[in-house]
Amino acid sequence: MPRRTPNKKPSISPELKELRAIRAELKTIRQEIDKTVHVRFGKRAAISFGTGVAKGFGLLIGTTVVAAAVIFILQQFVDWTGVGESIGAWILQQFGPGLPR
């Protein structure tokens, strides 16, 4: 077995250099994937909260627009002049004795 001298480094083959470069590149790719896939809980919770608020706000606005359109269309076909009086009379008939006047 030949002895090595302490000052002389062993020669590294080009294949080993290429493998080391590939390993380093894979390590950086793995770190980037971990940053995007394994997000901190606080950040993920904040994103989910913001998404929920946006969906709720969109539902609120959409429901308001649809309800306004339905009411507008109904106003074109139904005469609402006596509806309020008849509903008030019905409420007084059902709950009249218990309601303050």
Q: Which residue has the tokens 């997000």?
A: 39
Distance CA 1, CA 82 (A): 112
For the stretch 73-83, pLDDT in tens is 988 887 777 77
Contacts of 4 (CB under 8 A, 6+ apart): 10
Domain ranges of the chain: 14-95
Q: What's the Cα-to-Cα distance from 49 to each of 20, 52, 57, rounded to whole Å?
A: 43, 5, 12
What is the reported pLDDT for 69?
Answer: 95
Question: Which stretches of the chain drop beneath a pLDDT of 50?
Answer: none
Report pLDDT for 100. Answer: 64
What is the pLDDT, as a whole number, of residue 24? 94
DSSP letter assigned to residue 78: -
Q: Using CA atoms, how far apart are residues 27 and 20, in angstroms rounded to an integer?
A: 11
